Structure 1
Amino acid sequence: ATRPSLIVLDEAVSALDVSVRGQILELLLDLQRQERIAYLFISHDLGVIRAVAHRVVILDAGRIAESGDARTVIASPQSPVGKALVAAMPKLIRNRP
């Protein structure tokens, strides 16, 4: 059996309802811990990114606008696009530890 070291997930949970989304994210995190798999998680949903990412890269028109530790970037974005993304997040997600 093939054991990948990297899995690319492009909007993998965006079409799922919130409860199913949480279950899938937990499953992915469990799999990551057990199998030591890295994920490249592509999403416009910063709540999802905050739940799964250690590092984040924010793109603007295909160019890197900002990158760094996910919690730091989400807590204090430096780029205009980063600030706009964080401002668009629901307040409950923004203030989560």
Structure 2
Amino acid sequence: MLQELMRAYRGVSRCYYLHVPYTETLLRYATKPDAGYLKHVTADHLRDWYREKDLLPDGLESVIDAASTLDDAIQQILRESGLDQVLPIDR
């Protein structure tokens, strides 16, 4: 489905994969503020869903490493998409 969307869209599009190991995924998941969600979706669910480096074929995604800071990830996306060359809109 994502591959078809990428082919069909005429503008610039990019896909990113946040590579977070399973143990880190569990740690981050535990910090979610929604107690109901945490009760409904368990660590067992995450284990079943988790796929290490589950990348799309044909190299469609850029990988953002778990060690990247939020600013690092933002800068990577801006640079690779060309948005770092676009002047900001003053509102």
The structure with the larger Rg is 2
Q: Give the TM-score of the pair, scaled to structure 2.
A: 0.21
Greater strand content: 1
Higher relative contact order (CA 8 A, sep 6+): 2
Q: Give the TM-score of the pair, scaled to structure 1.
A: 0.21
